[in-house]
Chains A and B, each alone.
Chain A
Amino acid sequence: MEDNVSTALGLSIDDALPLSLSAHGSPPILHLYTFRPSAIVGKYQDIEAALRLDRCRDRGIEFNRRSTGGGTVIMGPKVVALGLGIDIDQPGLRGGIGGIFETLSTVLIRALEELGIKAGFMPKNDLEVGGKKIAGLSAALETEKAILFHASLLLDFDIPLMLDIMNQPPLKMSDKGYNCFSQRMTTIKEQLGHDIAMETVCGAIEVSFRDTFGVSLERDDPDTWENQRIQNLVAKRYTNPEWIFSHKHPRSHMGTGELKTPGGLLEIYLSLAGNTIEHVIITGDFFSTTRDINLLESSLKWTSSKRQKIEEHLSEVWRDDMIYGLDVATLTEAILKAKENTLNPLQKDV
């Protein structure tokens, strides 16, 4: 297993995986490694809106853009970086976008189970333990039949670093940032109560991959053809400012909104990518559970910010008294208020 890999090299190797499948008809290729401390945005994210690049440079944190979807990930020596090239018709891989994510999340769920952690799939793209996110997944169909799948799995995580280098919707209290994210994320170390070696975790993932797909794994290095592709990707893409600072992305907006409700004060922190909710933080003075709030927030990630769609997605997960004294319509109203303020920052509510 490689560690401390540069973003340019790690991402280039990952991009070469589906190319190799297509060109050589090779079996799936699993790439497990760790990055140098770095921040990697999704393919269609605004990197200058997502990251405080000045702080990244000051702290020696690399930054780059990957070729799969989704949002920003903070990588480093305590985060498993997983790249997988796999054919869309691979036996054992369920059909459809949802099926692909479910199958590949099963690999990680089984690996975590082997380590003594009970994880679940948090629809539609993450893994959770006790309602808190422990891994993120993203994917792209890169060639006619070959998928590139990315996952990041947290052994440990530096929340203060994340708060320093990522742009966030303005959070009112300086300590709310830490508490806010510590309630929404967890790590293998937190779940086990002790450190664990990266090699142990990666070993569990390899075994799980083998068992899930009924295949044997063989260690190998890139061949000549693959190395040429990798070097080409390093040069033309992952060290190229045109790629890293690409303007092909929806406009980013961040903002907040408040709504006084019968159930208490709702404070919504919203990040929009165009008309899509990139993520939403629901906080305030009300009665609910961390698990339920995380479920509601997760249901809205990367979905349309139109009223009908917000109501639809919330209703898919809603139960009575999920937030005591509130209903879907009221929560939707609060989110739309934040949206209005996000898009029209000069018209903030008093």
Chain B
Amino acid sequence: MAIIKGYDMPDELYYHEEHSWARVEDNRVTVGMDDIFQKEAGDIVFVDLPDEEDEVEQGEVCGKIQSRKWIGKLCAPVSGEIIEINEELEDDTSLINQDPYGKGWILVIEPSGLEDELGNLMHGQDALTPFVEQEIKRTEEERAKA
């Protein structure tokens, strides 16, 4: 576990700048949304997901997530085929808020270009700390201007 500026950002995961995370296990990549996203979004109302067997590319918007009246996006952190969807989210979207890295997982991708693509993601505290600080600063700067 790694807490960076109050946000839980586990060390073993890879992170996309649009707040999706990737857990790599053999030839499976489990995907979810990070703690920054779920705190910022608030209670998740609905998750609009792709279908199993859909092909996605790294960075592609592959789903939508509604919180209150805001609809945000789920970006695929890696390319590949969707092989599993978390069906528990159909009945309980709060799993994403309560347990974003555990029961709140969203989908699983069978990757097609992992070796090249992992380098495009953030991994480890050295990479994540400036990212988290930047996200906090972005919100604070605008609030200060207001």
Please, what's the 1-or-0 string for A235-260, where 1 marks a CB less than 8 Å from any CB in chain B?
00000000000001110000000000
Across-interface contacts of A125 in B (CB, < 8 A): 68-69
Whether the pair B94, A306 counts as a contact (CB closer than 8 A) is yes
Report yes or no: B71 in contact with A140, Cβ–Cβ below 8 A.
yes
B108-124 Cβ-contact flags toward A at 8 Å (1 or 0)? 00000000000000000
- How many residues of chain A are within 8 Å of chain B by beta carbon? 42
With both chains docked as a complex, state the minimum distance between the C-beta of A6 and any C-beta of chain B, in angstroms: 23
In the complex, how many angstroms separate the beta carbon of B134 from the nearest chain A beta carbon? Answer: 10
- A99 contacts across to B, CB distance below 8 A: 139, 142-143, 146
When each residue 48-70 of chain B gets 1 if its CB lies under 8 Å from chain A and 0 otherwise, what string results?
A: 10000000000000001011111
Tell me the complex Cα distance, A136–B68, Å.
12
For B131, the chain A residues whose CB sits under 8 A away are none
- Cβ of B99 to closest chain A Cβ, rounded Å: 13
- Whether A302 touches B68, Cβ cut-off 8 Å, given contacts A94-B146, A309-B43, is yes
Main secondary structure of the interface of B (DSSP, over half): mixed
Tell me if B24 is interfacial: C-beta within 8 Å of chain A: no
Interface string of A54-82 (1 = CB under 8 A from B): 00000000000001111100000000000
Interface stretch among A174-182, A273-281, A285-293, A331-339? A273-281
Query: Roughly how many angstroms separate A69 CA and B67 CA in the complex, as a whole number?
Result: 8
> In the assembled complex, how far is the CB of residue A209 from the closest CB belonging to chain B, in whole angstroms?
16
Instruction: Establish whether residues B67 and A304, one from each chain, have CB atoms under 8 Å apart when the complex forms.
Output: no
Provide the bound-state CA to CA distance between A273 and B94, in Å.
13
* Nearest-neighbor residue (CB-CB) of B49 within chain A: A248
Question: A274, B45: Cβ atoms under 8 Å?
Answer: yes
**B86 shortest CB reach to chain A, Å:** 14
Most buried by A among B41, B142, B145: B142
User: Shortest CB–CB separation between residue A155 and chain B, in angstroms?
Assistant: 21
**Is there contact, CB below 8 Å, between A97 and B46?**
no
The A/B interface has a contact count, at CB < 8 Å, of 111
**Cβ contact within 8 Å between B146 and A275:** no
Q: Name the contact of A102 in the complex, choosing from B68, B73, B146 (C-beta under 8 A).
A: B146
Q: Does B45 contact A95, Cβ atoms closer than 8 Å?
A: no
Say whether B46 contacts A95, CB under 8 Å. no
Chain B interface size, as a band, is 20 to 34
Given contacts A102-B146, A275-B94, contact A95 B141 (CB under 8 A): yes
* Residues from chain A with Cβ under 8 Å of B41 in the complex: 97
**Which of A116-150 touch B at CB < 8 Å?**
124-125, 136-141
B5 interfacial by beta-carbon distance below 8 Å: no
Those of B11-52 within 8 Å (CB) of chain A: 40-43, 45-46, 48
Cα distance A98–B139 in the bound complex, in angstroms? 9
- In Å, the complex CA distance between A337 and B2 comes to 40
- Write out, one digit per residue, whether chain B residues 64-105 have a CB within 8 A of any chain A CB (1) or not (0): 101111111100000000000000001111100100000000
Query: Contacts A99-B139, A309-B43 hold; do A139 and B71 have CB atoms under 8 A apart?
Result: yes
Q: Does A193 contact B (CB under 8 A)?
A: no
Residue among A92, A273, A274, A301 facing the most chain B CB atoms (10 A cut-off): A274
Instruction: Please name 27 pairs of A and B residues whose Cβ atoms are closer than 8 Å in the assembled complex, sorted by A.
Output: A43-B66, A43-B71, A44-B45, A44-B46, A44-B48, A70-B68, A70-B69, A94-B142, A94-B145, A95-B139, A96-B40, A97-B40, A99-B139, A99-B142, A99-B143, A100-B70, A106-B146, A124-B68, A139-B70, A140-B64, A141-B70, A141-B72, A248-B48, A276-B93, A302-B69, A304-B97, A306-B94
A interface with B by C-beta (< 8 Å): 42-44, 67-71, 92-103, 106, 124-125, 136-141, 248-250, 273-276, 301-304, 306, 309
Tell me the B residues contacting A by CB distance below 8 Å.
Answer: 40-43, 45-46, 48, 64, 66-73, 90-94, 97, 138-143, 145-146
Closest 8 CB pairs of A and B: A70-B69, A94-B142, A140-B71, A138-B69, A302-B68, A95-B138, A95-B139, A69-B69
